[in-house]
Amino acid sequence: DQQVKQNSPSLSVQEGRISILNCDYTNSMFDYFLWYKKYPAEGPTFLISISSIKDKNEDGRFTVFLNKSAKHLSLHIVPSQPGDSAVYFCAASSIYGGATNKLIFGTGTLLAVQP
């Protein structure tokens, strides 16, 4: 049962344009969401997060939007740069998971930014 889904396995955008990566979740208990960036043969690196009490969080070129009613979040990257090319994972957790803070990851979206 995939509780966190990223339905687009890949996305290609032109440099300078906006990249929009989408993520859907099924568990209404999730209340904290994160985006990670991952290069091949490396561990994920944290990008940005959002709590369920917010619907938007912005950090430089990266903005995450959360639509709780639709159980949907998205990551916007603008402007996109070739160095942004990587696999992006969304992840979710729940305060009800306790102190272990388990993260449930989506399947990832491979972003390719074309020069």
Q: Which is nearer to other proteins, 9 or 16 (CB)?
A: 9
User: Does position 7 bind other proteins by CB under 8 A?
Assistant: no
User: Does position 95 bind other proteins by CB under 8 A?
Assistant: yes
Number of residues written out for the chain = 115
Residue bearing tokens 């992840």: 91
| Positive or negative: CA dihedral 12, 49, 60, 67 | positive
* Contact between residue 18 and residue 79 where contact means Cβ atoms under 8 Å apart: yes
User: Does position 26 bind other proteins by CB under 8 A?
Assistant: no
- According to CB under 8 A, which one of 28, 51, 81, 114 is a site residue for other proteins? 51
Taking the C-alpha atoms of residue 58 and residue 49, their distance in angstroms, rounded to an integer, is 9
User: Does position 62 bind other proteins by CB under 8 A?
Assistant: no
**From the CB of 65, what's the least distance to other proteins, in Å?**
19
Residue bearing tokens 């938007």: 56
Q: Name the site residues for other proteins (rule: CB under 8 A).
A: 2, 4, 9, 32, 34, 36, 41-46, 49, 51, 89, 93, 95, 98-108
